[in-house]
Structure 1
Amino acid sequence: MCRHLAYLGPPRTLAELLLDPQHGLVEQSFAPRRQEHGRVNADGFGLGWWTGDRRPARYRRAVPVWADPNLEDLARNLSSGAVVGAVRDASTGSALGEAAAAPFDAGGILFSHNGSVEDWRDLPEQIDTGLGRSLPPGLEALSDSALMAAMVGARLADGRAVGDAVAAVVARIAAVRPEARMNLLAVGPDSIVATRWGDSLVYRRGEGRVWVASEPTDGDDDWREVPQYHLILATAAEAEVRPLPIETDRAA
């Protein structure tokens, strides 16, 4: 499994959002409180944020988040109103390395995956991925997460809204892998889309800002649970939680 977090609102430093909270991503990398699969997220990490030209920037490493000597200086000197952070516990059969660390580029949207899809390499032969009947050579990494990022990106390129694209990918995979764990996170400069399909997901809103995360970064009181098999669509001003339109025995 992995842990991830997204923020929209007035610009804040990446350190304030990801490093400073009592139970932020650094602590979640070695002592997650709600992670149901795996114990340590030490197979890499990544940060993503939007700059003034509304194009996302990324910083990804293959080392544990606590082992990067440059991270604190970087995070304290970068501010943004749209930020993503993720720490990784690599799935069996997925590549290691910086290219396999979230966030991925899904057609200009920052994408993260908390979960695991078994036998993901066989998916192009079993479902319509939107990418052809074999693994596309342009994947950022050989991993289930990178494949799903590319699937979302293909649907965005066809003109689908982000929420529809993310829900469609979950539906396609759930049809042949009902036991997959697919907490997906897709973040643009002014919107967050996230799914809960197999592990914890929470959100917090207030004063023109919103956080969506695998688990609370501080006290639990202000955070609300996203129900299992639901999707959240959020902006800095509002959040909507709705069931994923998927019919499987697991979601029934």
Structure 2
Amino acid sequence: MCRHIAYLGPRLALGELLVRPAHGLVRQSWAPRRQRHGTVNADGFGVGWYADGDPVPARYRRSVPIWADPSFPDLARVVRTGAFLAAVRDATQASADGEAAAAPFAFGPWLFSHNGAAKGWPGSLAPLTASLPAVELLSLEARCDAALLWALVSRRLRNGDEPGQALGDTVTEVAEAAPGSRLNFLLTDGAVIAATSWGDSLWYRTGPRQSIAVASEPYDDDPHWFEVPDRTLLVATRADVLLSPLKERPS
């Protein structure tokens, strides 16, 4: 169910991590190595990135497979950034939402992606919508589980939660309402990356000149990739990585 990656570090072309590596996100769209649910991520893709001096990211999203977009290689070759989030999508259910359902979702400086599925969607998450104002429900970009999960996370961010707390509290709340869900979240504002490992794979790699990549799976065979344990919250900056256990709420 989807593959995604976030990066913080020195400015580089998007293609340096998405296209050029032997197992980059483009290849993961049709040949992921560590995806346990689904086989092909062909239901759309997206990338969001930050330009110098502008805290609000730009996004490029399509409903076609990433390999079927003739414009993406040029975009990835010339767009340079020090922070981005990108994803390829394997839809939980068929829908007509098109590119609106493709991550990254956005609000203000934030970019968000979900790798996984909400068990029993949509009925299982219906009770959680009570915390959302009607205008926010009516403003959802798409009618998919990821869009609603993003609404729950972004509500917490609007209320002042730190990114790690917003993700961790949402994961445990959703896991209680829909046991068996896979809830690997990825969130960035261009300065910090927060991510959860809950039911699917998550890896991170620190690099030279204070860089970090957090991804569903490694894009190469470098030995400096580390797998994040299941039920774990990751919060990282260019200089530091913190891992904290996530626990299900008591019954």
TM-score of the superposition, structure 2-length normalised?
A: 0.94
Distance 1:134 1:56 in 2: 24
Q: How does 1:45-194 map to 2 (within 5 A)?
A: 45-52=45-52, 53-92=54-93, 94-123=95-124, 125-127=126-128, 130-132=131-133, 136-194=137-195
Shift of 1:118: 2.8
Q: 1:221 is matched with which residue?
A: 223
Residue pair 1:106, 1:150 contacting (<8 A) in 2 also = no
Q: Relative to 1, partners in 2 of residues 1:173 and 1:133: Cα closer, same or farther, differing over 3 Å? A: farther
Q: Relative to 1, partners in 2 of residues 1:26 and 1:203: Cα closer, same or farther, differing over 3 Å? A: same
- Counterpart check, 1:23 vs 2:23: yes
Residue pair 2:114, 2:183 contacting (<8 A) in 1 also = yes
Q: Relative to 1, partners in 2 of residues 1:194 and 1:170: Cα closer, same or farther, differing over 3 Å? A: same
| CA deviation string 1:101-139 (max 9, x = no partner) | 000014531000000013333355423663148981100
Distance 2:120 2:134 in 1: 15
Distance 1:69 1:153 in 2: 32
Distance 1:94 1:178 in 2: 24
Distance 2:107 2:168 in 1: 14
| CA deviation string 1:64-119 (max 9, x = no partner) | 00010000111111111111110000002555400000000145310000000133
Q: Classify the secondary structure of the residue corresponding to 2:29.
A: helix
Paired residues in the alignment total: 249
AA in 2 matched with 1:178: P
Residue pair 1:113, 1:145 contacting (<8 A) in 2 also = yes
Distance 1:102 1:213 in 2: 14
| CA deviation string 1:156-207 (max 9, x = no partner) | 1111111101111111111111200000000111110000101110000122
Structure 2 residues not aligned, in runs of 5+:
none
Structure 1 residues not aligned, in runs of 5+:
none
Shift of 1:220: 4.7
Distance 1:184 1:95 in 2: 23
AA in 1 matched with 2:19: L
- Counterpart check, 1:243 vs 2:239: no
The range that moved more, 122-131 or 149-158, is 122-131
Q: Classify the secondary structure of the residue corresponding to 2:37.
A: coil
Q: Relative to 1, partners in 2 of residues 1:117 and 1:134: Cα closer, same or farther, differing over 3 Å? A: farther
Distance 1:125 1:224 in 2: 36
The range that moved more, 29-38 or 219-228, is 219-228
AA in 1 matched with 2:36: E
Q: Classify the secondary structure of the residue corresponding to 2:149.
A: helix
Q: 1:12 is matched with which residue?
A: 12
AA in 2 matched with 1:34: R
Q: Relative to 1, partners in 2 of residues 1:152 and 1:106: Cα closer, same or farther, differing over 3 Å? A: farther
Distance 1:56 1:50 in 2: 5
